[in-house]
Every structure is written in structure tokens, then in C-alpha cells.
């Protein structure tokens, strides 16, 4: 998802707010997860609810429409994704922070012989909220019963008080499930206008992603997202 680029900063902002909860609704021209379209290149409507406590404990629920099957092929029944997470984020000294999360990916409505649901544990470390590294592990990625490991390096910087640039490089090892791994690059320019943000993102996957996914969901793509926060 495009909002993944901003997730680490988002929890810090919530902790500084006078309230513990926040919510959002957004629409994007596409929905990508780790560089790969989850909607066959079509638009996505997304919503979230976040709870951040002063102790550093947080939880969120996030939902989007999805489409994994090209037209003309047998339907898998998956039309929505719901992500549920429980995590802990805290500062270490003046410069460092960590974020640990257990995430449950749920795809309701799949047909009886299809199960994409799985759990993932993610750990991130940030330096001065500007440079970050993430490692995520699943023992049952996409419901296959196989292991996966995801690595990401990210950075962000402000162009002005309301405009930021985010850059991320990811490597997703799915060799246990699909016999291959791939890398991707994601960049995003975000502008905040009150409680509304507009994000223009560019994603591109290495050609190795085509060994796992349909080429209609890989490769370069430009994504425009409008999100309203409460």
C-alpha cells in the first residue's frame, strides 16, 4: 500500500495528539503491496482505524478492496483485504526509535479451497525519524504454509512544512512459497492540506517479480491517492 511509506511516522504523530484514536478514508488509482498491484491496476477505496496509547502500544484495522484474478479466469472470491495489527513503538535515546508489530492479513469471502489469510511479525528501527530499516517474517505467507522474509530500507525528508518525500527499497524473499524473490523501489510525494493529504507515488518492481506474479500487476506504475484523516 502507498500508505506503508508513512506508517512509522504516523504512530509518532498519534502519540503527540490529545486523543488516542484516529481514522482515515482514502481513494487511490491503484493499491500496491510491496510494489505489486493488489487490484489488477484498478482503483481502491481504503479505510483505517488506529488506536495509539501513551505507553507506546498501538493497534489498527485497515481495509481495502482487492482483485487478484485477471478477467476471464476462475474467480477466487477475494474482493476485500482487512489488516489487523497490534504493536509497540518507543524511542531509544534522542535519535533512535523501534516499532514491533504482529499483523494479521485477512481476505474474507474466498472460495472454499482458497485461503490467503496469514500472520506476519515486523520489526523496524528508525534513526531521527528519517532513516529506517524493516524486517518482516511470516511462517505461512499467503496461506501457503511456507516462510517469507521481507526487508526494506526507507528514508523521508521534508520539502516544506506540508510537503514530504518518501523513498523505499524493498526485497521480498518468497522462495519458500513461490520459488523466487524480487525487489522493488517506491517513491512518494505527499502534500498535507489540513486533514487531507494528496500523494503521488511511483512504484517499480524488478523483472524477477514476473516469476511470481502476473505481469499485469508488476512493473512501473504511477499512483495518485487522496486521503482524509480524523
Domain 2-229, what fold? Answer: Porin (2.40.160)
Q: What is the pLDDT of residue 24?
A: 98
Q: In angstroms, how far is the first alpha carbon of the chain from the final one?
A: 20
- Alpha-helical (H) ranges within 91-137 are none
Q: What is the pLDDT of residue 3?
A: 45
Q: What is the pLDDT of residue 220?
A: 98
Q: Rounded distance, CA 69 to CA 102, Å?
A: 28
Q: Give, for all 230 residues of the chain, the pLDDT tens digit.
A: 444 444 434 444 444 555 699 999 999 999 999 999 999 999 999 999 999 999 999 999 999 999 999 988 999 999 999 999 999 999 999 999 999 999 999 999 999 889 999 999 999 999 999 999 999 999 999 999 999 999 999 999 999 999 999 999 999 999 999 999 999 999 999 999 999 999 999 999 999 999 999 999 999 999 999 999 99
3-state secondary structure of 227: strand
Amino acid at each position: 500500500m502507498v500508505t506503508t511509506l508513512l506508517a512509522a511516522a504516523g504512530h509518532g504523530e498519534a502519540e503527540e495528539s490529545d486523543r488516542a484514536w484516529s481514522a482515515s478514508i482514502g481513494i487511490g488509482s491503484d493499491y500496491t503491496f510491496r510494489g505489486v498491484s493488489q487490484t489488477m491496476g484498478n482503483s481502491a477505496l481504503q479505510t483505517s482505524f488506529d488506536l495509539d496509547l501513551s505507553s507506546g502500544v498501538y493497534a489498527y484495522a485497515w481495509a481495502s478492496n482487492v482483485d487478484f484474478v485477471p478477467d476471464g479466469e476462475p474467480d477466487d472470491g477475494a474482493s476485500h483485504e482487512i489488516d489487523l495489527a497490534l504493536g509497540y513503538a518507543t524511542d531509544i535515546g534522542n535519535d533512535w526509535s523501534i516499532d514491533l508489530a504482529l499483523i494479521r492479513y485477512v481476505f474474507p469471502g474466498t472460495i472454499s479451497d482458497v485461503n490467503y489469510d496469514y500472520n506476519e511479525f515486523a520489526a523496524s528501527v528508525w534513526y531521527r525519524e528519517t532513516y529506517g530499516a524493516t524486517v518482516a517474517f511470516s511462517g505461512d505467507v499467503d496461506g501457503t504454509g511456507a516462510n517469507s522474509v521481507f526487508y526494506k530500507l526507507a528514508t523521508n525528508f521534508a520539502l516544506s512544512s506540508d510537503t514530504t518525500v518518501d523513498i523505499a527499497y524493498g526485497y521480498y524473499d518468497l522462495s519458500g512459497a513461490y520459488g523466487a524473490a524480487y525487489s522493488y523501489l517506491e517513491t512518494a510525494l505527499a502534500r498535507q492540506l489540513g486533514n487531507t493529504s494528496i500523494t503521488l507515488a511511483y512504484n517499480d518492481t524488478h523483472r524477477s517479480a514476473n516469476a511470481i506474479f502476473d505481469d499485469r500487476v508488476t512493473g512501473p506504475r504511477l499512483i495518485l491517492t487522496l486521503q482524509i484523516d480524523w
